[in-house]
């Protein structure tokens, strides 16, 4: 992490970091859900 001059900047940086991590997790779970639904669909077609 970058060194922050003030506590306010540190708080903003922490919020931004938390937001980006949260978005990354959301995107990852969306991707996993999509892959899972595609696998499920192909299994149902074979059955």
pLDDT over threshold 60, residue 1: no
Residue pair 23/11 in contact by the 8 Å Cβ criterion: no
9-34 tens-digit pLDDT: 888 888 999 998 999 888 899 989 99
Q: What share of the chain is helix, strand, coil (3-state, %, to 5)?
A: 85, 0, 15
How distant, in Å, are the alpha carbons of 12, 17, 47 from that of 41? 43, 36, 10
In angstroms, rounded to a whole number, what is the distance separating the alpha carbons of residues 40 and 34?
A: 10
pLDDT over threshold 80, residue 3: no
pLDDT at position 11: 85
């Amino acid at each position: 992490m970058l060194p922050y001059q003030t506590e306010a900047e540190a708080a903003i940086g922490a919020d931004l970091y938390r937001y980006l991590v949260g978005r990354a997790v959301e995107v990852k779970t969306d991707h996993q859900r999509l892959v899972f639904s595609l696998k499920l669909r192909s299994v149902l077609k074979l059955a």
